[in-house]
Structure 1
Amino acid sequence: MLDLRATPFTERGSRLLVLAESDGSLRVARAEYETRLSETTVLTGLRLFSGDRELPVRRALPDRVSFGAGVDLLFADPGTLVLTGSGARAVWDGGAGEIDGTLVLVGRAGPYDAGELLARAAERRREWFARMPAVPAELRERAEQAWWTLGVNLLPVAFAGGREGVVPSKLGYVGIWNWDSYFHAVALRHADPELARDQLRILLDHQRPDGLIPDVVHDRGVLAETTDLPRSDHDRLAQHVGGPAAPGEPIGGVVPVTKPPLTAWAAWKIHEAAPDLGFLDEVYRPIARSQRWWLTVSDPDGDGLAEYLHPYSSGLDDSPIWDHGPRAEPPDLNSYLALQADRLGDIAEALGRTAEAGEWRRQAARHVELLVARRWNGSRFVTLTKFASGAAAEVATRTPLELMPLLTGRLPREIAERLVADLLSPAFWGERPVPTVAFDDPAFDPDAMWRGPVWLNVNYLLIEGLRHSGFAAEAEELTGRTLDMVNAGGGLYEYWNPLTGARARGATTGFGWSAALFLDLAHRRAGRRP
């Protein structure tokens, strides 16, 4: 069942959202890119009556909202909401109507057959849930919620080339974001590999000639540089990025905006679940161009280690690592690049390009060696703030980004063991690990985005890193604690308070990658791989 106060009733392909207001009435609004629901309201104050008796919502299900007395609200098509039943009346702000078989609230006029609408809605629900990946029985209820979330977050987006993309959330994130799409594909690969592949294609279709993969594909175009950002984002970043750490250094200018380089990682995961050499051949050269972009354009000081040129490119845009300036080099980025080189090696090997595969693997090894030589200080991997002057400063804030080199699987054993010891220390470990700022760091805030809450993508990548680095027991323990937190928390949130396990203040609901990664971890727990 859905809690309409937090999770709207909606459907695959639909922009319409039905939400409950605090007074018990219902509201209908449209999900649009960078637009508040208050600006897209379609209908407010909806209430149903049978005679003088009000019919409250009894159950909100994936395929209908039931009011009792045989009255239901459901979709006739993605743009049409219909009430079915008889002997009841609907009233809303500025209108009213009798329900006699069907009453169209929003969308295309009928006629409609109530029984046919209900049957078709139920069939859509059965068909989608029949494809859900297998999970343990104790996780099934939350997994069904996750699978429903992925389904209803599928939308046609104007610049997606006719493909359906999973939006992160219809509450505030109505576009196809870069690394979100990779995480969404991780779950979709188990049930619909072609749909999973399309999540990558949507971004690669808009790759720039220099190799940059854009940050967002949305209804109005593509976001690939700071000139594409909404004014509100510029204003927010100007307040958040802690003023120029070097005198006179601005945030402005034309700066490329993307997301972390996990494209080859996602493509290989899809291939592991559903081998398709044609797809690997399709994406191999574009991903190789992206890798070169990171190691050239995104390495302005030429030290061989890439940096994030804009906070948004990290995906961690509210992290305290940005409190000192708009450019930074946390250890996660070059870990992803080493991992991507290894996965490009796997793709090249599968395509019979043995010599290229060997070169990619040598690149991965060299990159990890450079990361260790220049960013390992004997106790941890450091994060640097970079300045246009060429100066750099170490960021004192402790984040799990410094543990991401585990993801490479190539660290010297003693360094890997030190990172695992850090992960299991009170700084990062608790009943609900892993906080996005260390528990004992002065910047830790359990509710502030990227400043302390648990994010499932961080946990998932750390689990991958533990496995790649040979710490299977620790990976299983983190998997268990992550699944338990989500299972007990009541929803698929954007992020969680690590102290309480509840939805963190400000986190949106029905979040795509939380749903996807919970499903993938639960599927692994069921003993079905990859």
Structure 2
Amino acid sequence: MRYFLILICSISLGNTFAQVSRQDFPDVLKLAYQVQQAKKIETNVFSDMGAWHAYTLPAGRQDNGTFIGPMVMDLEGYWLANSVARLAVKADGKQIDLEKAQSSSHYYPGLLQQELKVAGLQISLKLLFISNREAMIETRITNLSGTKKELEIHWGGNLLKAEVAWQRDGNTLSADLGKGHRFQLRYPKQEPLLFRLEKNRYNAMRGKLLLQAGKSYSSSRIERYDLEEQQASGATKQRPFDAELKTNTARWNGYLNAYFNASGANIKDEVQRRIAVKSILTLMTNWRSKAKDLLHDGVFPSLNYQGFYGFWSWDSWKQAVGISYFNPELAISNILSMFDYQDGHGMVADCVYTDKKENNLRDTKPPLAAWAVWLVHTRAADPDFLKNIYPKLVSYHKWWYKNRDHDQNGLCEYGATDGTRIAAAWESGMDNAVRFDQALLLKNNDKAWSLNQESVDLNAYLYAEKEYLAKIADALGRAAEARAWRAQQGGLKKQINTFFYHAEKGFYYDRLMDKSWIAAEGPEGWIPLWAGLADQQQAAAVRDIMLKKEKFNTYLPLPTLTADHPRFDPMKGYWRGPVWLDQVYFGLNGLQRYGYQKAAAELLRQTLNHAEGLALQGPIHENYHPLSGKGLNAMNFSWSAAHLLMLLKEQAL
């Protein structure tokens, strides 16, 4: 299967280290929850294989005998139930109180597990995903006593939406959730179950079972969620749970070994290894398979935030690079999901959704697509991918110069398609950054406006994209095109260093078109180091500012605005002070590029040690407070996870 090929390739091309197992990484992320409100989704959950539903572990003994959920997703997320199938057991006519059981619950990569010991029984529950629509849950009861037991087994649950009623067809229960959404509980056809249904509640009772001493009983069910009309062939043929578990184990061990054996640093520190696994879990839980108007699989920024239920271009480029270490096929799909909606002029949408009417074409995002394509290609080695995507990358690159260079001087600006200031700020990816506070909109053509501000990061990204386009052209045997791309870099490099580098201050700044400097220092100032267009003297000056305690070298380093700026406000300012791990990556990568490995390593140590919960069981956040390390905004954030994978592999600690 594909994951075996990935693993073999990663070992042969990279380092060869001892193999790891998912059993080595229990509970890198703490899962524990009890649903009180259907739309309160801010908790750690588990999903896999691009499924559109997720689960978590119980928060207390009151939910022994079940997993929590599912949480279902489309344009918004909500909990379908606290539990759709809670186990109840009678032994020899007496009800067993599962709340009094000796219990343990664990989250392993790709697997939820609960173990109960009570009244001479061992009860094991396991949950994994077997397709992009289906989870499989096994209940196994073992008689640990020395005598036979007569058991009566029940499963039951209720949906949180009282108006939704269960319907039954044999041993399958289904709930029509409206708008094509449907949830199914499929108990084994051969299981002798007696059902009692009452609107949104049900109980399924298995007839009396005689369980001999030392013997086990097991039963597996499927929980399926469809967000569009279910096709007749949509159901996966059910295999025994042990066979699915074997496949699941091999796939997840493949992911882990692919990453740890990939080219780059040999990650030996146990805390850093657990951070890496947590990052993989975050990305895989945010994976959504193609559905409705999403034509390829992709990755949500975060399934814990209602506003992030789609695929974003900037996020997708970054996520794809991180994912390519362990799942190149998904990385490619994530990139293609955005190019599915590239318009006839070459523009790539800011974000796309299951309902394409919701797609945001008011703006795009900073150009990192060729960077992502090339790095994914180096791990996927798919020539068809390069061949098919290259013309689209060229069209996207040229679009910037046709639609975002107001004065036609070869330096681009962020802008919008609808003439709104807010969309132009969004296009920067740094929505409310202080550096844009003075900017105004200028009309370029009927469908293009630019800010009256030329941005150093945008033009540094475009400079880097030319190099990656050249690499792709070389790989495709288009040597003349590769030379042409590299020829463009020379003039642009000179322009950027002349126009944006402030020699007296030793940093790169945006400038308004009237040539006045923007008096704010942020990550845009170190992007030229990442792009490799600064000279050694300029790089040293930028490094010095990055290492100043009063500016960027805060408790959690490299905030998006210097700590000494009067408008520095991490708690209220989305891009006005918080630390974003993508910008940390660009900064540390840039330092390394110019030989400042020691400084980069120290800043990374501070990041890993001081970001709240990162070294423990906490979620990976969208951003962090630079003075306290507190996690801010969305939890389980994909591009943060992707950049942690890059940082750990690329940085020498």
TM-score range, shorter chain: 0.7 to 0.9
Q: For 1:333 and 1:275, how far apart are their aligned partners in 2?
A: 28
1:8 aligns with 2:8: no
Letter of the aligned partner of 1:296 in structure 2?
K
**Does the CA contact (< 8 Å) of 1:306 and 1:334 recur in 2?**
yes
How many Å separate the matches in 2 of 1:329 and 1:491?
36
Once the two structures are superposed, the pairs formed by residues 427-442 of structure 1 within 5 Å of their partners are 427-442=551-566
Which residue number in structure 2 is paired with residue 269 of structure 1?
375
How far 1:320 sits from its partner (Å)?
3.0
**CA contact 1:102–1:114 (8 Å) conserved in 2:** no
Kept after mapping to 2: 8 A contact 1:136/1:525: no
2:97 aligned partner? 53
Inter-partner Cα distance in structure 2 for 1:272 and 1:29? 36
| Equivalent residue number for residue 17 of structure 1 | 54
**Match status 1:145 vs 2:278:** yes
1:42 and 2:80 correspond: yes
Q: What's 2:125 paired with?
A: 72
CA drift of 1:491 comes to: 2.6
Structure 2 residue aligned with 1:377, among 498, 502, 517?
A: 502
Asked if residue 285 in structure 1 is aligned to residue 417 in structure 2, the reply is no
Whether the 8 Å CA contact 1:171–1:509 is kept in 2: the answer is yes
Question: What CA deviation, in whole Å up to 9, does each residue of 1:401-449 have, x standing for no partner?
Answer: 1221112212233222211111111200134211112122222233342
Q: Equivalents in 2 of 1:409, 1:3: separation in Å?
A: 42
Q: Which residue of 1 aligns with 2:619?
A: 491
Partner of 1:412: 535
1:51-72 Cα distance to aligned partner (Å, 9 max, x none): 4735498424242252625252
Q: How far 1:499 sits from its partner (Å)?
A: 2.4
103 and 164 in structure 1: CA distance in 2 versus 1, 3 angstrom threshold:
closer
Structure 1 stretch 156-165 or stretch 328-337: which is displaced more?
156-165
Q: Secondary structure at the match of 1:28?
A: strand
Q: Does residue 156 in structure 1 map to residue 279 in structure 2?
A: no
Contact 2:116 2:124 in 1 (8 A): yes
Please report how far the alpha carbon of residue 182 of structure 1 lies from its aligned counterpart in structure 2 after TM superposition.
1.5
> How many angstroms does 1:451 deviate by?
2.3
Say yes or no: does 1:500 pair with 2:634: no
Q: Distance in 2 between matches of 1:348 and 1:477?
A: 37
Contact conserved, 1:408 with 1:468, CA < 8 A, in 2?
A: no
Give the superposition deviation at 1:517. Answer: 1.8
Q: Distance in 1 between matches of 2:138 and 2:236?
A: 9
What is the one-letter code of the residue matched to 1:43? A
Contact 1:197 1:270 survives alignment (8 Å): yes
- The aligned counterpart of 1:200 is 335
Change (3 A) 1:416 1:525: closer
**Aligned residues: percent identity?**
26
Decide which structure has greater strand share: 2
CA contact (8 A) 2:405 2:413 kept: yes
Kept in 2: contact 1:146–1:492 (CA 8 A) = yes
Aligned mates of 2:220, 2:375 — CA distance in 1: 46
* 1:520 corresponds to: 646
Letter paired with 2:479: T
Which residue of the other structure, out of 623, 637, 647, is the alignment partner of 1:511? Answer: 637
- Residue 183 of structure 1 is aligned with which of 310, 318, 326? 318
In structure 1, the gaps of 5 or more residues are 230-254
Matched residues, number: 487
1:302 aligns with 2:408: yes
Aligned to 1:311: 425
**Partner residue in 2 for 1:257:** 363
For 2:374 and 2:426, the matched residues in 1 are separated by: 25
- Name the counterpart of 1:32: 74
Change (3 A) 1:362 1:8: same
Query: How big is each residue's C-alpha offset from its partner over 1:318-359, in whole Å with a ceiling of 9 and x where there is no partner?
Result: 333344456354321111011111222222233333332222
Q: Matched residues in 2 for 1:112 and 1:102: separation?
A: 14
CA distance in 2, matches of 1:396, 1:159: 46
Quick check: 1:332 aligned with 2:457? yes
For structure 2, the 5+ residue unaligned runs are 1-26, 34-42, 90-94, 118-122, 142-152, 161-199, 207-218, 261-266, 416-423, 441-450
Residues 1:403 and 2:526 aligned together:
yes
Point out the more displaced range, 425-434 or 475-484.
Answer: 475-484
AA paired with 2:570?
Answer: P
Q: Which moved more, 1:418-427 or 1:199-208?
A: 199-208
Q: Is contact 1:71-1:83 (8 Å) kept? A: no
Distance 1:521 1:17, change over 3 A: same
Shift of 1:305: 1.4
Q: Distance in 1 between matches of 2:58 and 2:124?
A: 20
Deviation, structure 1 residue 365: 2.1
Partner of 1:348: 473
- Give a deviation string over 1:150-173, Cα, whole Å, max 9, x none: 223222233677532122222232
Contact 1:102–1:113 (8 Å) recurs in 2: no
CA distance in 2, matches of 1:123, 1:99: 30
Change over 3 Å in CA distance of 1:17–1:325 after alignment to 2: farther
1:455 is matched with 580
Distance, in Å, in 2 between the alignment partners of 1:271 and 1:399 is 31
Higher-helix-fraction structure: 1
Aligned to 2:192: none
When normalised by structure 1's length, the TM-score is 0.80
On the 8 A contact 2:601/2:652 being kept in 1, the answer is no
**Which of the pair has more CA radius of gyration?**
2
